[in-house]
């Protein structure tokens, strides 16, 4: 069986204002920070975009310092405290509990853990005004 590639893939949904980060294999906190910084700096109004992290194919574990850095990064990119939503898709109960334990680091961010992507997207897009036109997502690698 071939080894799983280590990478972060990104899809930006400009229509419903959320960004999906899929982590596969071994991804280090510094790599994730670099990718989120790159993506959110490319957005015209980054504070409007919620986040979805799909970590079902993620092998290693992010450390407390990585979560703290993500929280600090978000405040910097958004220009201060900005309410947003952060959905995590995982089928691992231990990861889900660990993620929920880091909620106090993100006072302006409401986070939830889901086992299915469609449920996470439904929650992220609650209240988003969607027009009759369906806009495709942009894929960033």
Residue % of the chain over a pLDDT of 90: 48
Predicted confidence band at 134 (pLDDT cuts at 50, 70, 90)?
very low
Q: Per-residue pLDDT tens for 118-130?
A: 999 999 998 765 5
Over residues 75-121, the pLDDT tens digits come to: 888 777 778 899 999 999 988 888 888 888 788 888 899 999 999 99
Strands 18-25 and 7-13, by their bridges, are antiparallel
Average pLDDT, the chain: 85
Q: What is the per-residue pLDDT across 3-20, written as a single tens digit (0 to 9) for each?
A: 567 899 999 999 999 999
* pLDDT band for position 31 (cuts 50, 70, 90): very high
């Amino acid at each position: 069986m071939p080894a799983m590639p280590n990478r972060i893939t990104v899809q930006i949904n400009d229509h419903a204002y959320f960004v999906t980060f899929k982590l596969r294999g071994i991804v280090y906190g510094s790599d994730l920070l670099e990718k989120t910084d790159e993506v959110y700096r490319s957005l015209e109004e980054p504070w409007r975009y919620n986040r979805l992290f799909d970590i079902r194919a993620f092998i290693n574990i992010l450390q407390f310092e990585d979560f703290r850095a993500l929280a600090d990064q978000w405040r910097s990119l958004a220009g201060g405290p900005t309410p947003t939503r952060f959905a995590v898709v995982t089928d691992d109960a231990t990861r889900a509990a660990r993620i929920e334990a880091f909620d106090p680091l993100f006072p302006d961010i409401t986070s939830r853990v889901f086992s299915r992507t469609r449920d996470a997207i439904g929650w992220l897009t609650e209240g988003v005004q969607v027009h009759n036109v369906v806009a495709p997502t942009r894929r960033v690698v």
